[in-house]
Amino acid sequence: MRARDLDVALFLGAGEREVDEYFLAISGIVSSMTRFSETLRLRHYPSLKLETRIFAGEDHYTAVPRIVGEGIRHLWAEEAARLPSSWPEPKQ
- What does the DSSP 8-state code read for residue 11? E
CA separation for the pair 84, 68 (Å, rounded):
23
CA separation for the pair 25, 34 (Å, rounded):
13
Residue 92: predicted pLDDT: 76
Q: What is the pTM of this model?
A: 0.80
pLDDT tens digits, residue range 29-71? 999 999 999 999 999 999 999 999 999 999 999 999 999 999 9
